[in-house]
């Protein structure tokens, strides 16, 4: 019997795989489709204080090796997701709520509202939204990030996590990890959001693929797998008291296995879910089980974080 269940904090997931915020999560109908699929959990769209239409179309495009997007945080406002969380059946599977306020005050207001529900939801504060014009990524401003996390930690009575941008320099990994390790109630790190401000060009038309920001957008899919794995494994080693949720470059069970081998406790899927739909979760679970059976692993703990170096 091969067991692919996992736990985030004390909440059990029947599968380690679920949607990344931004895909199948803006509407309650989409969230319900994920809930009724073979996903192990679900996460809401990153919500803001008020509803947002997002950036002008076209703002997403598939590419040969992934995707480019500049969505601009389209969402219905936090009250919409607050109502969903208030009526959600938490005995089914864990619910993560993604928070992406346009200011620290917005984030504190929304987090307070969600924790007042007294429900076992899992807040994920998005520190890495690269696709709102004029708004920097908080995850790259270490002093500001530390200030924000200090305020959030002081205001929270329940555990929470953060969604991170990709880091590339070893010194930046170490600086970020030192900040994260200060906060006891910061329990999980989601690595990574898309690689910001890429550019994809169509040779035939000699144009960019998306409209916002002169064609610049977040890169996802196969392109980002090595960067995602590096972030998962590095923070797994530098933040031993935090759980890591992997995200980036997952299109098959092999990439799920690789994320877990690098230290991930669970794995989010974005680009491939956008293209394939909720049936993807069944395929990923089956492919992960096949790899584990071939290798003689009975549960995820048999190989989680056991990446070998040369």
Phi, psi angle pair for 191, to nearest 5°: -125, 115
User: Tens of pLDDT along 87-120?
Assistant: 999 999 999 999 999 999 999 999 999 999 999 9
Domain assignment of residue 139, given as a range = 6-56+75-197+222-302
When the pLDDT of each residue in the chain is averaged and rounded to a whole number, the result is 96
In a domain, 245, yes or no: yes
**What is the number of structural domains in the chain?**
1
List the chain residues with pLDDT less than 50: none
* 15 in any annotated domain: yes
Q: Flag whether 65 is in a domain.
A: no
The pLDDT, as a whole number, for residue 131 is 53
- Residue 129: the pLDDT is 74
- CATH number assigned to the domain comprising residue 139: 3.20.20.70
Q: Which residues are catalytic?
A: 129
Give the per-residue pLDDT at 135: 65
Question: Looking at the domain assignment, is residue 214 inside a domain?
Answer: no
Q: What is the pLDDT of residues 130-149, one digit of tens each?
A: 556 566 789 999 999 999 99
How far apart CA 178 and CA 283 sit, in angstroms, is: 38
The answer to whether residue 307 is domain-embedded is no
Does residue 63 form part of some domain?
no
Q: What is the pLDDT of residue 59?
A: 98
- Is 148 inside a domain boundary? yes
In a domain, 129, yes or no: yes
């Amino acid at each position: 019997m091969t067991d692919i269940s996992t736990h985030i904090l004390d909440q059990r997931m029947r599968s380690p795989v679920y949607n990344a915020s931004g895909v199948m999560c803006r509407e309650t109908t989409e969230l319900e489709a994920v809930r009724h699929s073979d996903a192990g959990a679900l996460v809401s769209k990153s919500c803001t204080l008020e509803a947002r239409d997002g950036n002008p179309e076209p703002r997403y495009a598939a590419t040969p090796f992934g995707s480019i997007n500049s969505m601009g945080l389209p969402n219905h406002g936090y009250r919409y997701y607050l109502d969903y969380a208030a009526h959600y059946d938490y005995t089914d599977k864990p619910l993560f709520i993604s928070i992406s306020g346009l200011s620290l005050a917005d984030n504190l207001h929304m987090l307070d509202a969600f924790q007042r529900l007294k429900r076992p939801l899992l807040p994920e504060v998005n520190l890495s939204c690269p696709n709102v014009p004029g708004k920097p990524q908080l995850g790259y401003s270490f002093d500001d990030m530390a200030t924000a996390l200090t305020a959030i930690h002081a205001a929270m009575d329940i555990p929470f996590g953060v969604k991170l941008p990709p880091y590339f320099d070893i010194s930046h990994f170490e600086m970020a990890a030192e900040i994260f390790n200060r906060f006891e109630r910061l329990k999980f790190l989601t690595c990574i959001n898309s690689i910001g401000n890429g550019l994809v060009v169509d040779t035939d038309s000699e144009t960019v693929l998306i409209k916002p920001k002169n064609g610049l957008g977040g890169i996802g899919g196969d392109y980002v797998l090595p960067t995602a794995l590096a972030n998962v494994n590095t923070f797994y080693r530098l933040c031993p008291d935090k759980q890591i949720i992997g995200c980036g470059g997952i299109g098959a069970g092999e990439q799920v296995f690789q994320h877990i081998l690098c230290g991930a406790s669970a794995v989010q899927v974005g680009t491939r879910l956008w293209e394939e739909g909720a049936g993807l979760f069944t395929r990923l679970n089956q492919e992960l089980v096949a790899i584990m059976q071939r290798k003689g692993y009975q549960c995820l703990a048999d190989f989680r974080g056991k990446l070998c170096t040369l």
